[in-house]
Each structure stands twice: as structure tokens, then as C-alpha cells.
Amino acid sequence: MADNGTAPAALFERHQSTLQEAVAAIHGRYFWTPHPESPSPKVYGDEAAPEGQAAFEGYLGKDFPLDQPGGDDRIITERSPYGISLGVGYPHADADALIAAAEAARPSWRDVGPQGRAGVCMEILHRINRRSFEMAHAVQHTSGQAFVMAFQAGGPHAQDRGLEAVAYGYDTMTRYAGAARWEKPQRKGDPLVMDKRFHVVPRGVALVIGCNTFPTWNSYPGIFASLVTGNPVVVKPHPRAVLPLAITVAVAREVLAEAGLDPNTVLLAAERADEKLAATLALRPEVKIVDFTGSTEFGDWLEENARQTFVCTEKAGVNAIVIDSTDAYKQMLGNIAFSLSLYSGQMCTTPQNIFVPGGGIETDEGHKSAEQVGADLAASVSRLLGDAARATGVLGAIANDGVLRRIEEAGKLGETVLESTDIAHPDFADATVRTPVIVRLDADRRDVYGREHFGPISFVVTTADTDEALRLMRETIAERGALTAAVYATGEDVLAAAEKAALEAGVNLSANLTGQVFVNQSAAFSDYHGSGANPAATSSLTDPGYVSGRFDFVQSRRHA
């Protein structure tokens, strides 16, 4: 049984003021976070870094400590992109065992109510935050992200997205009265008086399908949106990125147990490669919600086939930059070069298509031909990655063989402006590290740039003029989707035209980024990630539609 300090009501009270701040932030959309992004001892304490590393190393070569239903079967499916052996064994259960356990947990989690569930969710996030160093190593050695990025994107930024989902869910559930007295005046005599109660009814078991590259950041919105709205969650990690979600599930189960609740409210569904457990689970009638990040092919399959569910998918896209003109040429090139290089372009938000007018562009350094822009961008990338230690801190490692193969074959797609090279990692001899490749294409090669080439592969596409560039951006995104778009222009007319094109394409736009904000990055509580308005994603992280599909209101009434 829960003692008073760990019961849901106590957890709600403990975290209530932070929740109120989070709700205010999603309304105001200003900068806010309770999760410091700096991996500094001044913030997380002197012991946090060594303890986190020790915790990570303690998992290696052993069975992960997770007591779940489904028997003693253990599986090992991960290898680090940095070449080290992980060898962590995870409990393996079949769909029947997972669904039965989640279904059994369902009524008790529903009956906790919105406040208590928000309290439990926030305590889970709070404890995950304190384990951000441990999580950083786990994310680094599954995704291939460099350590600092793994800390930030896999830790505090992912926690922010989780908390944002809690805030949206809590706000949407509690914004409407839970009880009301209804008094209808009558022409003669006393009014009709009814007492009414309004309940949040969760949809059912939720399935969250994680990806290889951002195991926590892309999963936390779905996990916490479904949890706070009352649905038990089965977390199905990518077979190559299990550890970050195993830690997450372990923390969640610990908090649930301490709160006197059924730990099977959150379950890990580790699977063997090619087991297709996600597809099996998604078709189970008990499963009513699916969150997915990954390939267009499987995302489309889920949308077509998991008909009994509320499906949120984030799939591939053709992110675009239109360069019209700039008054900060060097800074523009530096900003784009960093965006192309960060985590070896393995972000769903990395720009792919850079549209440049064939007649060149006006800059603060004079007119630049389209050819010159491509060459200068290549030089900027090379400069950024000239030093191996700095390069690997930006690039991280290549997550999987699919990316590697696409890099190797990119040269055949057009005229190579920048070749990819190997870099030896100073700390990990067997790490797979590659620099970006840039290819030049004419505007008529839409067969190439009109589809996604996931990884550090981008195209400088020469267009007739800026109008054609904006049109191609709009058309390719409307057709194939995108999570990001950017424009560089000195004239307000072009910026307005770009904004209009972005609205038509349903894509979030960044204008004239030249400093330490990059088009690949979005800030929780302020920036929307994805929109739902183009084929790259069915919804935004996070907006009202993302949470309201996870529960219904059901009422009762009687005479007062």
C-alpha cells in the first residue's frame, strides 16, 4: 500500500505548482522548462555524472531488472553505433500476456482520476530527470547521438515534451466542470433542477512504438499523453534502442507501485527483430490508441489497419530551405552547415532540399551564384567538421546500416558538391562516423529530391527563381510531408510569401536563422513539432487534438 507521501493525491500536491506553470506555458508559448539542459555538476550535482555512468555500465552484459508478467524469456537485440557491446537482456512477453496485464490495470488507473494521474506522471518525469546522465549514456549507445546531445535531447528536452503532454492532457480534462447543478427556469412554478456529474472515460490500452534515433524524445509525448488521460501504456521500443525505454518503464513501474497502483499500467514490449510485435499489438481490439514514430511505410500501414484506434504517426518528410537572399551570408552558411551535420542528419527535422535560384542570390558579401552558394556551404560543413573531436561531438555515430548504405549511394543521385568521409572517433575505435554528403540537382529532378533520403544527405536544388523555389517547397511538402521548412530572405515580401507557402503546405517555418537556433530543433511548450497538416505527421507534439482523442466525457444526471 502507498503511504501518504507517495499516494497519487500527495504526488499531485507535490507537483501542482510546476503543473500550473506548465499549463500557463502551453497557453503563453514562451520559454519555460523545469528540466535544466546543461549536464553541469552545478546543476545536477557533482555525483550525478559518475553515478549515471556507473548505472549505465551496471546494465551491460546483464538482464535488465524489470519484473513483468510473461515468463522468463529474455532477449538481447541492441548494439552500440559506437561499437561497444551492450548485451542487456530484456524480459520478453507475447501480445496476450501484455494485453491481459494492461487490461487488468485499466480500471484502477482510470479510477485514480485526472489529478492523481497527473501527480503520478509528474513524479515519474521528476525521477527520470534525476537520472538524466544514466539516460544520456543509454541514448548515446542506442541512437548514436553524441553524449551532450544524448543528454539534452534524450534527457531534459524529452522530459519537457512528456511534461507538455501531461499539461495538455490535464488542462483539456479539467477545463470543463466535473459536476454542475443545472437549473432551467419554467414559465410557471419552480425551475427544473438537475445535478450532473461528468467523468473522463479513457479509451483503452495505448501502444507507443519507439524509434531508433530518438527513443525517449519521440516516445514521451505519447506515453504521457495516454497515461494522464487514463490509459495503460504498452511501450514497444525499437529493437536497437530498448535501454532508454526500459529505464523509463522501470521508473514508471516503481512510482506506480509506491503509489499503491498496478505497475502493469506501464509495460515494456521488447521484441526480437522481425517479430512484428508492434503490428500484432496494434490490431488487438483492446488497443485503442497508437503512437508511432518511424517509416512512412509502417505509419501508413497503421493508419490503414489499426482502425479501432486513435492513431498518431510521425513519418518521413522532405524538409526544405529556400534561399532568396541574406544580409548575413557567413552566419547563414554556418547555421545550415550545423543543421546538416548535427547527429549526422539523422533527425526527422534535418533539412534535405536547399532551393537556390539559378541566377544566384544577393548577400552582404555581394552577389553569389548558385554554384558558389553550394561550394560555400560545402566549405562551411568541412570547416565545422575539420577537427575530429569537435566533429564527433556534432555528428555522433551512424545509427544503422540503412543510413550507411544511403550515404554510400548518394553520389549516384546527382553532381556531388561535398563527399562524405570517415572520421576516426577519438574515444571509440569501432564507432561508425561519417560526414554529410551534398548533391546538386536541377529543379526537374523531383524524382530524387521529392522523396526522403534519411541521413546526412542533402540536395542543393537550382530553381528558375525564388517563386519556383517556394512553389517546389510547397508542392513537395504537401505531397510528401515535412517537419521543418526554412527561408532566408531580406525582403518582407519574400518572407510573407514564404509564410503563405508554409501555411498552404502545413509546415512550421523558420526565417533567417543565423545564430544558435537551428531549424532541426523545437522547444517544448513553445514550438510545435509537426503539424498534422501535411503527410509527415498526423498530429503535432503537442496540441489539443493530440490529447483529446485519448478520452471521452461521459455524464450522469439526476433530479436535485
CA–chain centroid gap for 387, Å, is: 30
Spatial separation of the C-alpha atoms in residues 190 and 211, rounded to whole Å: 61
State the minimum distance, in angstroms, from the CB of residue 203 to its own copies: 8
- Taking the least distance from each CB to its own copies, the nearer of 69 and 544 is 544
Buried b (16+ CB within 10 A) or exposed e, 223-239: bbbbbbbbbbbbbbbbb
State the minimum distance, in angstroms, from the CB of residue 511 to its own copies: 4
CA–chain centroid gap for 453, Å, is: 19
Question: Helix, strand or coil for residue 136?
Answer: helix
532 touches its own copies (CB under 8 A): yes
Q: What is the DSSP letter of 393?
A: H
Residue of 192, 273, 429, 464 that binds its own copies (CB under 8 A): 192
Residue of 183, 408, 415, 465 that binds its own copies (CB under 8 A): 183
- Taking the least distance from each CB to its own copies, the nearer of 187 and 412 is 187
Residue of 57, 61, 182, 390 that binds its own copies (CB under 8 A): 182
Q: At what angle do helices 220-228 and 156-174 cross, to 10 degrees?
A: 30
Residue of 131, 161, 203, 453 that binds its own copies (CB under 8 A): 203
Q: Which stretch binds its own copies (CB under 8 A): 277-285, 336-344, 409-417, 535-543?
A: 535-543
Spatial separation of the C-alpha atoms in residues 287 and 12, rounded to whole Å: 28
- Taking the least distance from each CB to its own copies, the nearer of 83 and 532 is 532
- 265-304 residues in contact with its own copies (CB under 8 A) are 303-304
Task: For residue 338, give the nearest of 307, 380, 297, 305 by alpha carbon.
Answer: 380
Quote the Cα angle for 504-292-354, to 5°: 40
- 70-99 residues in contact with its own copies (CB under 8 A) are none
Residue of 81, 155, 334, 506 that binds its own copies (CB under 8 A): 506
533 touches its own copies (CB under 8 A): yes
Spatial separation of the C-alpha atoms in residues 150 and 145, rounded to whole Å: 5
Spatial separation of the C-alpha atoms in residues 352 and 332, rounded to whole Å: 16
Residue of 20, 29, 429, 430 that binds its own copies (CB under 8 A): 29
Is residue 85 a contact partner of residue 60, using CB atoms and an 8 Å limit? Answer: yes
Question: Helix, strand or coil for residue 116?
Answer: helix
Number of residues that bind its own copies (CB under 8 A): 68
Residue of 62, 272, 307, 405 that binds its own copies (CB under 8 A): 307
31 touches its own copies (CB under 8 A): yes
548 touches its own copies (CB under 8 A): yes
Residue of 274, 401, 427, 559 that binds its own copies (CB under 8 A): 559
Residue of 512, 520, 524, 536 that binds its own copies (CB under 8 A): 512
194 touches its own copies (CB under 8 A): yes
523 touches its own copies (CB under 8 A): yes
Evaluated on CA atoms 292, 140, 82, 396, the torsion sign reads positive
- Taking the least distance from each CB to its own copies, the nearer of 307 and 390 is 307
557 touches its own copies (CB under 8 A): yes
Cell for 159?
Answer: 522530459
Matching residue, cell 530572405 = 489
Task: For residue 93, give the nearest of 325, 291, 271, 311 by alpha carbon.
Answer: 271
560 touches its own copies (CB under 8 A): no
State the minimum distance, in angstroms, from the CB of residue 84 to its own copies: 31
Spatial separation of the C-alpha atoms in residues 135 and 150, rounded to whole Å: 8
Task: For residue 160, give the nearest of 36, 16, 292 by alpha carbon.
Answer: 36
Cell for 112?
Answer: 485514480
My answer on whether omega of the bond before 542 falls inside 30° of 0, hence cis, is yes
Q: Which stretch binds its own copies (CB under 8 A): 29-37, 356-364, 369-377, 435-443?
A: 29-37
State the minimum distance, in angstroms, from the CB of residue 30 to its own copies: 5
Residue of 77, 140, 216, 510 that binds its own copies (CB under 8 A): 510
Is residue 459 a contact partner of residue 437, using CB atoms and an 8 Å limit? Answer: no
- Taking the least distance from each CB to its own copies, the nearer of 246 and 536 is 536
Residue of 3, 28, 426, 430 that binds its own copies (CB under 8 A): 28
Quote the Cα angle for 40-393-481, to 5°: 105
Matching residue, cell 555581394 = 366
Pairing between strand 90-91 and 74-75? antiparallel
- Taking the least distance from each CB to its own copies, the nearer of 56 and 310 is 310
- Taking the least distance from each CB to its own copies, the nearer of 333 and 378 is 333
552 touches its own copies (CB under 8 A): yes
Matching residue, cell 569501432 = 430
Spatial separation of the C-alpha atoms in residues 285 and 527, rounded to whole Å: 35
556 touches its own copies (CB under 8 A): yes
Q: Which stretch binds its own copies (CB under 8 A): 132-140, 337-345, 404-412, 545-553?
A: 545-553
335 touches its own copies (CB under 8 A): no
Residue of 79, 130, 199, 471 that binds its own copies (CB under 8 A): 199
508 touches its own copies (CB under 8 A): yes
Spatial separation of the C-alpha atoms in residues 160 and 183, rounded to whole Å: 43
Question: Helix, strand or coil for residue 414?
Answer: coil
- Give the binding site for its own copies (CB under 8 A): 26-31, 38, 172, 175-177, 180-187, 192, 194, 196-199, 201, 203, 303-304, 307, 495, 499, 502-503, 506-517, 523, 526-528, 531-533, 539-540, 543-545, 548-549, 552-559
